[in-house]
Structure formats: structure tokens, C-alpha cells
Amino acid sequence: MLVSYSSSSEDESDCFTVQRKRSCNVTCHDEEDLRFGKRTKLEAVNSHGSNVQNKEVLPEEERGRLPVPDTVLHMFREEQRVDDSAQHGGRVRSFKHERGNWATYVFLPYTPDEAFLELLDEVTALARSLDVPLNHAEEFHISLSQTVVLRHHWIQPFVQSLRNSLADTKRFLCLAQRLNIYSNSEKTRTFVGLEISTGHAQLTELTKVIDKTIEEFRLTTFYQNPSFHVSLGWCVGDRTDQLQSACLPQLQSLLDHHEDGPFQLRIDCDELRCKTGNKVFSFPLPK
């Protein structure tokens, strides 16, 4: 059986011709596309009135990139906080503010009644007449710890430890009727307070329980031989001597000869609170 084969040279020639046509077609289309693309880009540039010769050509990956807003650039920048004592009645911060540090203390709250607020107005008015600019306290409580610093991730363990420690502490009653003068550790403020008489022993035992939690976090425990009190008012600076010698007798006389009889402050100690930063945790005491 005979089979007819075409010449190999003719096949190669035909194949070369076809490839050349294809290559020419592809090259022509590519060049045409490039020319069209360049023409389109130039027209786009010229339509905005830009100088084509001076136009900077950006890399492809940067052409669609948008600028980062300033608000995002400054979002995580550390703020420099400057404390201005003039904005806080002359009060000075006990320790420097740092991000992530939470000022924390434990206390027994007291909600004032009308009789207490009237007496407070009389006390501050008398103190000012004696040349002592006494300011009202912003809130009323019995402090059961010093102000300590907690890191944010310590807050929940600290609160839980307190809750466990206070589980068996029973509620009790406190009474106060004698004034006393106090100052903070830095001697930047002086206070007039009502000193607790009845309930002092229970408060002492309570601070021992709280100190155990504070020691777990290696923080400063409460004062030795504390004088538990409710602050009525404060003034800037160390005015301890002036208040004790010139003001305290007259202020105490005001309480002793009150129109309804000697004033006595009564506090039902049925709830403890822990304030850390702007958070307040409550610990109800069982009966």
C-alpha cells in the first residue's frame, strides 16, 4: 500500500508562513493596544489641564493608593496630659497620671440627708468667717484603704479577691459626733471630718480583711492606728495648726449646741464599694 507524503520543506515553509502571519497579527494588535492605551492616558492627563511633559509617572501599585487621614495617623499617638490644679480648686494629684494606671480605693458610702447638708453649710460658713476657705466635700464616705494604683488587667482579679474575702463580713452601725482635723500625706490639702466612735472596732477588722487583698498585689496597706472619719470639707495647703487652734473649738461647739440637740451622724454599714478609675463595684454585706 502506497502512501503519498508531501515535501517536508514545503510543510516547514507553509508552517513558517502561518506562524509569521500569526505573529504579525499579535504584534500589530499589541502595538495598537499600547498606542491606544497611551493615547487614552495622555487624553486623560490633558483633560485635567496638566503638563504632560512634567507629569510624574507613579508605579502601578501606588496609582490607586489614597492618602491616610490625619485622624487615623494621630489615633494611637500617646497624649501628653498636663494637670492644671487651677481647674480642680487647687488640688494636686497624689501621683502622676499614666495610661493604664487606675486609681483605686475601698470605702463605705454615706448618703447625706437634709439635716446633714444644713449642718455642712453652717460648718463651712463658720470656717470662712474664721479666714479658712473650706470647700464642701464632693462625696461622703469612710475610707477603708489608701488610694493605690491598679493596672487594667488587675482590676477583675482584685475585685474578685475582695468579694471572696468579704463574704462572711456582717453589716454593722457607725456613729460620729466629734470633729477632727486631717491632712493628706503630701500636705497639699487639709480636711475637717467627723470621727467615728461607735463601730471603730468593726472598721478595724474590716481593713485587715481588705489589706489581705491589697497585699496580694503588693500594694500599700492602710494606715496604722487609723482614725476613721467622714470628711465634711477641705482647703488647699497644710492648715492643720490653724484649724486645730483657732477653728476646731468653735466648729465643735456648733455641733454640740445644734438647734435640735447635739448632732450625731449615723451610718448603716451594709455595703462596701471599690472605685477604680471611673468604675464602681459594690459589695453588699450580709445581715
Q: What are the pLDDT digits (tens) for 215-269?
A: 999 999 999 999 999 999 999 999 999 999 989 999 999 999 988 899 999 999 9
Among 63-77, 99-113, 137-151, the minimum mean pLDDT is found in 63-77
Q: In this model, does residue 100 exceed pLDDT 50?
A: yes
Run of H or E including 277 = none
- Let me know: does 252 contact 262? Beta carbons within 8 Å: no
- Let me know: does 108 contact 272? Beta carbons within 8 Å: yes
pLDDT at 112: 95
The grid cell for 61 is: 501599585
pLDDT at 61: 54
Alpha-carbon distance 242 to 220, whole Å?
A: 30
- What is the rounded average pLDDT of the residues 147-151? 95
Residue 240's CB: how many other CB atoms inside 10 A?
14
Q: Rounded to the nearest 5°, which phi and psi values hold at 267?
A: -130, 120
Three-state SS across 73-104?
HCCCCCCCCCCCHHHHCCCCCCCCCCCCEEEE
DSSP category for residue 239: -
pLDDT at 191: 97
Model confidence at 22, in pLDDT bands (50, 70, 90)?
A: very low
Residue 2's CB: how many other CB atoms inside 10 A?
3
pLDDT at 35: 43
- What is the rounded average pLDDT of the residues 28-56? 44
CA distances from 185 to 50, 113, 138 (A): 70, 30, 20
pLDDT at 76: 52
User: What DSSP string describes 131-183?
Assistant: T--PEEPSS-EEE-S--EEEEGGGHHHHHHHHHHHTTTPPPEEEEEEEEEEEE
pLDDT at 75: 59
What the chain holds in terms of domains, given with CATH numbers, is: 98-284 (3.90.1140.10)
Where in the chain does DSSP place strands (E)? 101-109, 135-136, 141-143, 148-151, 172-183, 189-198, 229-236, 265-269, 271-276, 279-284
Q: In this model, does residue 94 exceed pLDDT 80?
A: no
pLDDT at 2: 39
Put simply, whether the predicted model's pTM sits higher than 0.75 gets the answer no
* Selected residue with higher pLDDT from 73 and 123: 123
- The percentage of the chain sitting over the pLDDT mark of 90, rounded to a whole number, equals 61
Which amino acids are annotated catalytic? 141, 229
Q: In this model, does residue 91 exceed pLDDT 70?
A: no
The CB-based long-range contact list for 83-89 (8 Å cut-off, 24+ gap) reads 89/135, 89/236
